[in-house]
Structure 1
Amino acid sequence: MDRTAKVTFVTLVGSIVNIILTVFKIIAGVLGRSTAMIADGIHSLSDLLSDIVVIVFVKISAKGRDKDHDYGHGKFETFATLIISLMLIVVAANLMSGGISKIRLILSGVEVSSPGMIALWAAVASIVLKEILYHYTIIQGKALNSPMMIANAWHHRSDAFSSIGSLLGIAGAIFLGEKFVILDPITGCIISIFILVMAVKMSVPAIKELLDVSLPDEIEQQIETTAKSIPGVIDLHELKTRREGPGIIMEGHLVLNSHISLKAAHDISKKVEGALRKRFGSETQISLHLEPEDDSE
């Protein structure tokens, strides 16, 4: 099974779980009169939508290079990560709005029914299933070096965390009496803040990658150290780096002894490329300009 097939399979497993949870939680929220559980169900729906984004964009990003994309389609994964983040921001805003509206109703004296036990059990089921799904997805995402899958895994975990909030709010409203029914919408608002924070944390790296921001200094230092470890390499400078989906792109000037043959210089550069790909992944794209020592001053 190739990388695209593995990503698709893992995401389809998540989709099935999300479909079941979305239907179950929204029904449980309606029957159990729980704003927090309805909000939780909408969050699971956003997970399902993000699964669809992953499946579509992983197929595009796997196309490789063509005449219009010299560096491949890796940034489509990054774009998908940003889409998932923006979806979460919209979801968070809607949940906050609904929670605030219910809080205002309660404070104005409007009678609001306490949540039912079905909403409580739905929260428990969601926590267990989504935490399992988080671990499954993030393990596979790291193994496949897919930031998009890792982002989707955190989307699953944010659903589990939001269900913990729902559980606390619903339990408080059920077991502490009608005076504490306001805990339910308050929890819904807290969930929305958590979702917003998660969305921003996922979107910042994606935006940086789309803007071709250089890799962190420590990574660039590792690149230089790896290149200099190859016998015959005097220096690596003018290093330029950026991330391209699951891989990285690096360009630089490789300084070699000015008296060696062209073939020897070529062989050294190939060894450097091999070492860098071994260190940073087979999808690393490398462009080295060979420079004689006398001209590197």
Structure 2
Amino acid sequence: MNDEQSPRTETVAWGGIVSDIALAVIKGGFGYFSGSKALLGDAIYSGADAASKLVETFPWRPGRNSAKRRVRTLERRDNKEPVMAVLMSVLILMFGLQIAFSAIRDLTRGHFSAPGEFAIVVVLLSIVLKEAVFQYQYRYFRKKGDGSHAAYAESHRFSLYSSFTVSLGIAGAVAGGENYLDFHPLLYLDPIAALLTSCLIVRKGYQLIASSIYGKKHHELPASDTANFVETVQRVHGVIRVEYLKATEEGSYVNLEVKISVNPRITVIEAQDISECARKLLQHRFVHVGEVHMDVVPYDPGYPYKSNHELVDNELPSLLQ
């Protein structure tokens, strides 16, 4: 099952990266030839989205056939990700500031030309394509129950802010051109939209570099997203009940803290074998699971069953001799 899930998960993740890169190239080309600073800014934001996802995905290798390979994968991820994040964030910040300075220069000079009509068509088509890719990724990761859909939703929300801002700016600038209303103040909307988009780009770069320097925020997944983990542990032979399970999202990985109860009559070694079996099953079935901390406690049936259970093996006399 692990061999089937891992390539598909990686394919879904890389599909989003490739789509963002394609949108960045297309919007950047049309923005350059149409003279729309806003469309260029939206292209850079799509590139920033691809860069942030690339940082998360590039060091990740799905194949984990042994514990040693898993350790090497996590070490390689820890070593490469901060360096890549810093490089990507610096490039994002530079491009964002360049768009901001260019927009401010155009606003101060006041010499504008309406962008081509196809610029607004490109933005609208990019929104449709971006929404389609997002819906596929969101439903896939939500079905897996690893909490990644929440991160995708937040990233997509700000991406829509950028695209809608750009679409309004370009539409207003096109309407203010000579072919339509011929109203010069509307031409200011395109550089204004570019300036607002540059703020979102700088925000994206700052978040990326902050997460690499200060570490990523750990988000605890809700109980609805941990049901698959609990169900998997309960299938392990020897586990009576999952007493506690906490899933913490750290980047593209999820770390688990699990407490299980076992038969109180078994030995410590047998309890450790059950715990190790549950840990391996979680890591092999869910490729996004990182560290798993297992605690084992004896099963306590509680009153009145506890008293009945104790009477069976109680060899000590209950009365004073």
Report the TM-score range of the alignment, normalised by the length of the smaller protein: 0.5 to 0.7
Structure 1 residues 12, 250: closer, same or farther in 2, change over 3 A?
Answer: closer
Partners of 1:172 and 1:183 within 8 A in 2: yes
Equivalences for residues 180-195 of structure 1 within 5 A = 180-195=186-201
SS in 1 for 2:112: coil
SS in 2 for 1:57: coil
Structure 1 position 26, deviation (Å): 1.5
The one-letter amino acid paired with 1:247 is V
Q: CA RMSD in A?
A: 5.0
Partners of 2:173 and 2:189 within 8 A in 1: yes
Structure 1 position 170, deviation (Å): 0.8
Tell me which structure has the larger Cα radius of gyration: 2
Partners of 2:147 and 2:221 within 8 A in 1: no
Structure 1 position 113, deviation (Å): 1.5
Q: Normalising by the residue count of structure 1, what TM-score does the alignment of the two structures yield? A: 0.65
Instruction: Structure 2: state its 5+ residue gaps.
Output: 177-182, 234-238, 301-321
Residue from 13, 16, 19 that aligns with 2:15: 13
Equivalences for residues 133-212 of structure 1 within 5 A = 133-144=133-144, 151=151, 155=155, 158-176=158-176, 177-197=183-203
Instruction: Structure 1: state its 5+ residue gaps.
Output: none
Partners of 1:141 and 1:149 within 8 A in 2: yes
Q: Distance in 2 between matches of 1:113 and 1:74?
A: 52
After the TM superposition, which of the residue ranges 162-171 and 74-83 deviates more from structure 2?
74-83
Aligned residues: 274
Residue from 22, 25, 42 that aligns with 1:23: 25
Deviations, residues 126-159 of structure 1 (Å, cap 9, x unaligned) = 1111111111122223334566786466545543
Structure 1 position 37, deviation (Å): 0.4
Q: Distance in 1 between matches of 2:115 and 2:85?
A: 31
SS in 2 for 1:113: coil
The one-letter amino acid paired with 2:48 is S
Structure 1 residues 114, 232: closer, same or farther in 2, change over 3 A?
Answer: closer
The one-letter amino acid paired with 1:181 is L
Partners of 1:31 and 1:118 within 8 A in 2: no
Partners of 2:104 and 2:195 within 8 A in 1: no
Q: Distance in 1 between matches of 2:144 and 2:97?
A: 35
Q: Which residue of 2 aligns with 1:131?
A: 131
Deviations, residues 91-121 of structure 1 (Å, cap 9, x unaligned) = 25532442243223332x3512222212111
The one-letter amino acid paired with 2:267 is K
SS in 2 for 1:181: helix
After the TM superposition, which of the residue ranges 71-80 and 26-35 deviates more from structure 2?
71-80
Q: Which residue of 1 aligns with 2:314?
A: none
Q: Normalising by the residue count of structure 2, what TM-score does the alignment of the two structures yield? A: 0.61
Q: Which residue of 2 aligns with 1:246?
A: 253
Q: Distance in 2 between matches of 1:195 and 1:53?
A: 16
Q: Which residue of 1 aligns with 2:103?
A: 102
Deviations, residues 171-210 of structure 1 (Å, cap 9, x unaligned) = 1122133323222122122223334556667787887876
Q: Distance in 1 between matches of 2:145 and 2:85?
A: 18
